[in-house]
């Protein structure tokens, strides 16, 4: 939530630079909020890995079940669709059970629910790489005006690592299906291409 507020403030009031008092204010709020959440989670008997996976699940649910649920309910309210649910296969094999014990994320089904988080993960990965390239080319001036964007992209990429891993590196049956991976990457590349062509000239000069 703190990162969302930071992001909104950045675009409402301009690019937050390292020298800005707003940067340190929201940075301290973000560190404090996540630090308190971690301490609280460990206090009740959890581990750091479980807390981090919980943060990842919160982001995944925010763009999957919560998003699709909102669309479905909104459709029902305006009489476009009816709220329902789809029964999925709950059979667990030995490999899936082992991955569950090791706290490895399980995908493995070609579902439309995986498209939003996979697409957003790739968009942020591309944006982070593009930002780093720009910093290497332009130096500190680019770093100062892009610090918030780099922090946000880095945070989302790290949080989305299980998704990127399931798309690009994993070979087991719990990986994201190739059809979802190809579609998500295609959409992400298209979005980034359109954004790079339509970005205002003044932002290029910052």
CA 105, distance to chain mean position in Å, is 15
Per DSSP (E only), the strands in the chain are none
Span 198-204, average pLDDT: 53
pLDDT digits (tens, 9 = 90+) for 106-131: 787 777 788 888 999 999 999 899 88
All structural domains of the chain with their residue ranges: 2-204
* Distance, CA of 44 to CA of 38 (rounded, Å): 10
pLDDT at position 21: 65
Taking alpha carbons only, the member of 173, 169, 180, 171 closest to residue 114 is 180
* Distance, CA of 95 to CA of 93 (rounded, Å): 6
Taking alpha carbons only, the member of 30, 53, 141 closest to residue 102 is 53
Q: Are 145 and 139 contacting, i.e. CB atoms less than 8 angstroms apart? A: no
pLDDT at position 1: 46
Alpha helix stretches (DSSP H) within 93-160: 94-101, 115-138, 140-159
Q: Are 43 and 97 contacting, i.e. CB atoms less than 8 angstroms apart? A: no
pLDDT at position 183: 92
From first CA to last CA, the distance across the chain in angstroms is 27
pLDDT interval class at 96 (50, 70, 90): low
**Residue carrying structure tokens 């569950």:** 100
pLDDT at position 9: 44
pLDDT digits (tens, 9 = 90+) for 47-76: 888 888 888 888 888 888 788 778 878 877
Taking alpha carbons only, the member of 66, 151, 64 closest to residue 105 is 64
Whether the full predicted model's pTM is greater than 0.85, yes or no, is no
pLDDT interval class at 18 (50, 70, 90): low
Kindly state the percentage of the chain with pLDDT values over 70.
76
Q: Are 42 and 51 contacting, i.e. CB atoms less than 8 angstroms apart? A: yes
Span 13-17, average pLDDT: 50
What is the SS3 assignment for 199?
coil
Q: Count of CB atoms within 10 A of residue 204's CB?
A: 9
194 pLDDT more than 90: no
pLDDT interval class at 37 (50, 70, 90): confident
Kindly state the percentage of the chain with pLDDT values over 90.
11
């Amino acid at each position: 939530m703190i990162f969302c507020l930071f992001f909104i403030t950045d675009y409402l009031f301009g690019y937050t630079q390292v020298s800005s008092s707003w940067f340190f204010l929201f940075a301290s709020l973000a560190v404090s909020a996540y630090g308190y959440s971690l301490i609280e989670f460990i206090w009740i008997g959890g581990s750091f890995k479980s807390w981090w996976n919980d943060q990842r699940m919160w982001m995944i649910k925010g763009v999957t079940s919560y998003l699709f649920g909102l669309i479905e309910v909104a459709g029902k309210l305006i009489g476009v669709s009816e709220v329902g649910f789809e029964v999925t296969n709950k059979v667990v094999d030995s490999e899936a059970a082992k991955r569950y014990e090791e706290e490895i994320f399980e995908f493995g089904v070609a579902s439309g629910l995986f498209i939003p988080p996979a697409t957003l993960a790739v968009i942020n990965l591309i944006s982070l790489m593009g930002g780093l390239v720009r910093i290497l080319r332009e130096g500190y001036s680019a770093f100062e005006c892009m610090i918030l964007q780099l922090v946000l992209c880095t945070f989302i990429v790290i949080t989305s690592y299980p998704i990127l891993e399931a798309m690009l590196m994993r070979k087991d049956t719990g990986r994201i299906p190739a059809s979802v991976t190809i579609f998500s990457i295609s959409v992400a590349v298209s979005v980034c291409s359109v954004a790079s062509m339509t970005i205002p000239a003044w932002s290029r000069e910052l």
